[in-house]
Each structure stands twice: as structure tokens, then as C-alpha cells.
Amino acid sequence: MLLANPADSGTSGVVAGAFGNPSAKSIIRIYDSFDGDPSGDPATVQNDLLDTGGEGEQDVGALNAATNVTYTPSGDPFASFIVGGSSTGRTSISGRAAFLPLIIEPDRRIVLEVEKLESDGDEVVISLDWFEVPIVFSETTPRFKSEELY
């Protein structure tokens, strides 16, 4: 899955977690640097934003998602996590991958690569949860000005 934050979004994307079906033990690798631009099939996003403008429709988020991604990482994964299954052969109660929130600044993107680790017949289903907030930090805007420190 590709998750991309457009340069002009005005928001930061905060990835809160990834979920997989409990019986299909898998590893998720997260890449954040690439040779070339990753591309894929646009994904349908389940948007929970409320109708703040009163038009009768949900607000649209700024981040874009895609599946069936074509990409070439330019280094090792930024991080990797196990979801689903268990090392003892029993399925887990939850398929949640616990990791620190990942902040995707404007003009940044990540790719989540999923590899199934067990040979059972269950297909791997992964969903990704994120939310959008005003820009948390960007290299395009300074964190502070030195004169404000004194």
C-alpha cells in the first residue's frame, strides 16, 4: 500500500496503526525512500471525517492511498512489524501491529509491503489507520527561530 501526502496538503498524516486478520501471520515493512516515484491503483479510503461545511457530504482528507504498488526502495525498510498469527502456531487474539505513530509530512510518502509468513490457506488482509492534523513539522517551515530562544 502506498500512502502519499501531497506537497500542498497543509496537513501532516499520522499513521496510527496497521491491522491484519489474526490467523495470517505476516510481516509489514515500511519504506520511505525510493528510486523513482511509487505508483499504484487508487484505493478507496474509508473516511470518518464529518460534514463540517453543512453540504451533506463527508469532508475529504488530503492523503492519497494506492494498492498494487510498483516501487523500488532505495535502502533498507524504515521499520518492520509482525501482524496476526503467533510464534506458537496459535492464532493471535488481535491482528494489530503496534508501532509508534508515523508522521508523513507534506510531499512525503510511505509504502507498506506485506509478506505472509505462514503457509496456511488464509489470505492476508491489511488495513491502515491514519488521521490528518495541521502540519506538525516540515523541513519547509522552521521549528523555531534562534532569536526566540533568548
Task: Tell me the pLDDT tens digit for each residue of 70-111.
Answer: 999 999 999 887 776 654 444 444 556 656 678 899 999 999
CA angle 93, 17, 12 (to 5 degrees): 170
> How does the average pLDDT of the chain come out, rounded?
76
pLDDT band at 7 (very low <50, low <70, confident <90, very high): very high
Return the exposure string of 106-142: e unless at least 16 CB atoms fall within 10 Å of the residue's CB, then b.
Answer: bebbbbbebebebeeebebebebebebeeeeebeeee
pLDDT of 93 reads 44
Q: Say if residue 62's pLDDT is above 70.
A: yes
Across the range 141-147, mean pLDDT stands at: 47
Question: Is residue 116 predicted with pLDDT exceeding 90?
Answer: no
Res. 132 pLDDT band, cuts 50 70 90: confident
pLDDT at 29 over 60: yes
CA 8 → CA 22, 107, 119, distances in Å? 37, 8, 43
- The winner for highest mean pLDDT among 14-28, 66-80, 113-127 is 66-80
Report how far residue 140's alpha carbon sits from residue 24's, in angstroms, rounded to the nearest whole number: 41
